[in-house]
Amino acid sequence: MTQACSLLLILSALIASTYSFFVSTPQKSQCSILSMSGGRSKAEQGKTSRTMFKELRGKLNKAAEIPGFFDVGEKSELDLYCKASKDGIQIGDCPFTQFVQMVLQKKGINYSLHPLLPTNKPSWLVEKHEGKMPAIVHKGVSMTDSLAIAEYIEKTFPHSSLTRQGAYSYQEVLEKTQGFFPAMSAFIKNKDSGKDSSLQAEVDKQLDMMDEILRSTPGQYICGIEMTLADLYLTPQLFHGVVAMEHFKDHTFFHIDGEPTRPALENYLSRMLELPEFNSKKAYYGADQVVNGWKVARGEA
């Protein structure tokens, strides 16, 4: 950041000097040669402003390759530790990490993201939290469990509330739908075809419940008129369900083309998958990553 500030200060000074010259010096003719003196170093003497700007622009372009070069004033307010992809650099396919990121972005909180492989988790995370992720650190406080993290963020940064009461509270919705991810996970990971029918029926039961909740509430969101933590919590899980159940079980519940099975749920999911927070480059991972993640869970990779 010192390099960035120095370069920006040089650019500002150069612009100011050039402006001052044009304002204070009368123009003799259009063919006059631009000449500057005073603050120039020996290396700069004899160079036109055009040349100097070109060289400085080149330096700025080079410096801009440094991650975060232009993030002036964007000081991180907390650190988020999460599952990394195979390269150890990009984020992994964790729906619970994506949930936390969507909460942070919806509330406009600056944060630093730290994707981790199982082999490079910091000692405090292993010793204090058994290596569980996602995890946050904020002003010396560290914690895990995505929902607990989201509620902590909501209380610590109370602006743009995501917990307002609607037809339902977010807690009521999450209590009603708490069986969805376990049911989906059991269905996707199952390799005994004889059990698929009953496992799929349990998933469908959970989806029917979401559809019923949405049909009974006003507005575009699952609790009512305003978005809540429940929307941000369920959206990444539903995305996993759309991708993984179709890939591994040939089971489709989100009909992009054709007649919807559960109109309220499918219309709702269409809106949620268009959220800027869901599609943010910082939080989003593609369908291929979802499939690869579930291959690992199925013992196939």
3-class secondary structure, 152? helix
DSSP sequence for 103-143: HHHHTT--EEEEEE-TTS--HHHHHHHTT-SSEEEETTEEE
Confidence of residue 48 (pLDDT cuts 50, 70, 90): low
Nearest to 97 by CA among 229, 227, 233: 233
Confidence of residue 21 (pLDDT cuts 50, 70, 90): very low
* Of 26 and 156, the one with more pLDDT: 156
Confidence of residue 69 (pLDDT cuts 50, 70, 90): very low
3-class secondary structure, 300? coil
Distance CA 79, CA 74 (A): 13
Q: Return the structure tokens found at 58.
A: 């080149």
Domain at 75-160: CATH architecture: 3-Layer(aba) Sandwich (3.40)
Phi, psi (rounded to 5 degrees) for 141: -95, 130
Specify whether the CB–CB gap between 208 and 179 falls below 8 A. no
Average pLDDT over every residue of 181-201: 97
Q: Return the structure tokens found at 119.
A: 């082999």
Average pLDDT over every residue of 177-190: 98
Q: Is the pLDDT of residue 36 over 90?
A: no
Confidence of residue 259 (pLDDT cuts 50, 70, 90): confident
Average pLDDT over every residue of 272-297: 94
Q: Is the pLDDT of residue 256 over 90?
A: no
Confidence of residue 101 (pLDDT cuts 50, 70, 90): very high
Average pLDDT over every residue of 226-232: 98
Q: Is the pLDDT of residue 297 over 60?
A: yes
Domain boundaries, the chain: 1-20+44-74, 75-160, 163-301
Q: Is the pLDDT of residue 275 over 60?
A: yes
Give the Å distances, CA to CA, from 76 to 41, 88, 194, 267.
38, 21, 51, 36
- Report the amino acid identity of residue 13: A
Burial 258-284 (b: 16+ CB within 10 A, else e): eebebebbbebbeebeebebbeeeebb
Fold of 163-301: Glutathione S-transferase Yfyf (Class Pi); Chain A, domain 2 (1.20.1050)
**Does pTM surpass 0.85?**
no
DSSP bridge partners of 115: 82
Q: Is the pLDDT of residue 5 over 80?
A: no
**DSSP assignment, residue 84?**
B
Average pLDDT over every residue of 25-52: 46
pLDDT above 70 as % of the chain: 75
* Of 199 and 23, the one with more pLDDT: 199
pLDDT above 90 as % of the chain: 70
